[in-house]
Amino acid sequence: MAQKTENKLDFGSKWEYAAAPESADHASIMDEYGLYINGKFVKAEGGKKFASINPSNDQHIAYFAEASDNDVDKAVKAARKAYKEVWSVMPAKERAKYIFRIARLIQERAREFAVLESMDGGKPIRESRDIDIPLAANHFFYYAGWADKLEYAFPGKKIEPVGVAGQIIPWNFPLLMAAWKLAPALACGNTVVLKPAETTPLTAMKLAELIHDSGLPAGVVNVVTGAGATGAAIVNHPDVDKIAFTGSTGVGKIIQKAIAGTHKKATLELGGKAANIIFDDAPIDQAVEGIINGIFFNQGHVCCAGSRLFVQENVKDEVLRKLIDRMGSLIVGDPLDKNTDVGAINSKEQLNTINKYLKIGQEEGAEIYQPKCSLPNKGNWCPPTLFCETSQSHRIVQEEIFGPVLTVQTFRTVDEVIDKANNTPFGLSAGVWTDKGSKIFNLTTKLRAGVVWANTYNKFDPTSPFGGYKESGFGREGGLHGLLPYVNLV
């Protein structure tokens, strides 16, 4: 509670919030999940399985089947059959009804999905409840609308689906990335083999149950769980027509090499190292909120995270003072607590990666700042972190850390900050904070980034395309542009 002095509330001292945990009683989790192939839940070949844990307390959640090459082959065959016999020949307005039903069912079960997403992946319930799950439903709604209107998206063209799509998704937005990929694929008449990430398979299997309940014809969506080898089996399967991948730039390069010279289409959504640029004429308080949201949203496990802060030199002191103040008020802890701002790091491996960069940053001579906060004893945790005194050549400025770690640099002129912002191998997103519209337009045309936010950050909408330049990958997801990877235009 805030301190009371002379009957006045003292807003200067720290508030302590009582715990407000979301109940997990209503969420049902089975001991073991199979693969969803051809409309049935089946065991993996040889009964191979792996466990998923809760990264906030190391507790075991459930076992998931580990799909072999043969299992993937069965899934692709089921998808091919459903493509030929059912989905590609169904009138588009009928396809739309199924997609619409999936959206409605996600809304109906939103509370359970939100709890499970936070348990399996470590993100705060506030985010899974208010962002991940509603946005996932919205992607299905949006693309359900396109299904029977494709001729308006591509006027004058003969539009054909691509065929069987192999979709490989990461662990940072498990259900949302599944929705980004499934909805446009289905709307355009493709069938799918989808693989969630190995640390967060729970909501994908729940989605498989939901899709099953929706009555979607068998084989239209198949979900196979497993790690990199299962993903590679999808990529290398000769009867897959399109690969949609979100994940590391390293694996993106492997995929591009693997499909070179084949007929396969691909979209790759890879890493990022976004510049968040604050000019001296920006509304500073709002900009500070935007910096916080830009880097600490989802523990910084965000490909478009605003991980490089550029502050105009004459407002550096004010911005840093307010930023440090705000960092001190962030609540780090139990993802299921409704007050939590920053949850658990998704896996031990990712925590090791982040810690490695914290060490590198200090060895490179950067100045580290972390607010004092008590972290839980169990699970994977990293406090919000700021690195000052950084320069372009620092590895922490050049490489994707994928954690709650922000680097700070200053600039004096517009041209200087454009050069600095563009000087990384990535080009996914950027943020610009200024009072001047002309400055915004100047920067949006010169920043080599797929998405540029102005006076806001990390805003997502199904109608808006998302994707990268350079090593951030290619292809767009979302909006009308997101239909293009799933059609052949003749």
Residues that bind ligand NAI (CB under 6 A): 168-170, 172, 195, 197-198, 227-228, 231-232, 235, 246-248, 251, 254-255, 269-271, 303, 350, 353, 400, 402
User: Of 169 and 447, which has the nearer Cβ to ligand NAI?
Assistant: 169
Q: Cβ 468 to ligand NAI, closest distance in Å?
A: 9
Q: Cβ 174 to Mg ion, closest distance in Å?
A: 9
User: Of 105 and 197, which has the nearer Cβ to ligand NAI?
Assistant: 197
Q: Which does 219 bind (CB under 5 to 8 A by kind): Mg ion, ligand NAI, none?
A: none
* Contacts of the segment 208-212: beta carbons below 8 A, 24+ positions apart: 208/36, 208/41, 210/102, 210/105, 210/106, 210/109, 211/36, 211/102, 212/36, 212/39, 212/41
Binding mask 97-126 for Mg ion (x = CB under 5 A): -----------------------x------
Backbone angles phi, psi at 32, to 5 degrees: -145, 140
Residues in the chain, how many? 490
In this chain, which of 52, 410, 424, 429 binds Mg ion, going by CB under 5 A?
52
Q: Cβ 204 to Mg ion, closest distance in Å?
A: 11
Q: Which does 271 bind (CB under 5 to 8 A by kind): Mg ion, ligand NAI, none?
A: ligand NAI
User: Of 189 and 361, which has the nearer Cβ to ligand NAI?
Assistant: 361
- Asked if 434 touches Mg ion (CB under 5 A), the answer is no
Q: Cβ 204 to ligand NAI, closest distance in Å?
A: 10
Mention every residue, 6+ apart, whose C-beta is less than 8 A from residue 438: none
Structure tokens at 394: 């620092």
Helix (H) or strand (E) holding 386: strand 385-388
Q: Look-up: residue for tokens 């939590």?
A: 340
User: Of 172 and 191, which has the nearer Cβ to ligand NAI?
Assistant: 172
Q: Cβ 247 to ligand NAI, closest distance in Å?
A: 3
Q: d(Cα 147, Cα 446) in Å, to the nearest integer? A: 35
Binding mask 220-249 for Mg ion (x = CB under 5 A): ------------------------------
Rg (CA), the chain: 23
Backbone angles phi, psi at 124, to 5 degrees: -60, 140
Q: d(Cα 399, Cα 246) in Å, to the nearest integer? A: 17
Binding mask 180-209 for Mg ion (x = CB under 5 A): -------------------x----------
Going by the DSSP 8-state scheme, the letter that residue 82 receives in this structure is: H
Q: Specify the amino acid at residue 159.
A: I
User: Of 147 and 405, which has the nearer Cβ to ligand NAI?
Assistant: 405
- Catalytic residue numbers read 269, 303
DSSP 118-140: HHHH---HHHIIIIIHHHHHHHH
User: Of 120 and 471, which has the nearer Cβ to Mg ion?
Assistant: 120
Neighbours of 489 (CB within 10 A): 12
User: Of 350 and 429, which has the nearer Cβ to Mg ion?
Assistant: 350
Neighbours of 438 (CB within 10 A): 8
Q: Which does 52 bind (CB under 5 to 8 A by kind): Mg ion, ligand NAI, none?
A: Mg ion
Q: Cβ 346 to Mg ion, closest distance in Å?
A: 7
Rounded to a whole number, what is the distance in angstroms from the first to the last CA of the chain? 66
Q: Cβ 214 to ligand NAI, closest distance in Å?
A: 24
Q: Which does 246 bind (CB under 5 to 8 A by kind): Mg ion, ligand NAI, none?
A: ligand NAI
Mention every residue, 6+ apart, whose C-beta is less than 8 A from residue 410: 310, 311, 312, 313, 316
Q: Cβ 52 to Mg ion, closest distance in Å?
A: 4
Q: Which does 254 bind (CB under 5 to 8 A by kind): Mg ion, ligand NAI, none?
A: ligand NAI
Backbone angles phi, psi at 336, to 5 degrees: -85, -5
Structure tokens at 136: 């996932």
Structure tokens at 9: 């509330």
Among 358, 363, 364, residue whose Cα is nearest residue 402: 358
Q: Which does 120 bind (CB under 5 to 8 A by kind): ligand NAI, Mg ion, none?
A: Mg ion
Neighbours of 263 (CB within 10 A): 11
Residue of minimal CB distance from Mg ion?
52
User: Of 62 and 480, which has the nearer Cβ to Mg ion?
Assistant: 62
Residue of minimal CB distance from ligand NAI?
231
Q: Which does 228 bind (CB under 5 to 8 A by kind): Mg ion, ligand NAI, none?
A: ligand NAI
Extract the runs of DSSP E, i.e. beta strands, from 248-384: 265-269, 275-278, 308-312, 367-369
Q: Which does 303 bind (CB under 5 to 8 A by kind): ligand NAI, Mg ion, none?
A: ligand NAI
Residues that bind Mg ion (CB under 5 A): 52, 120, 199
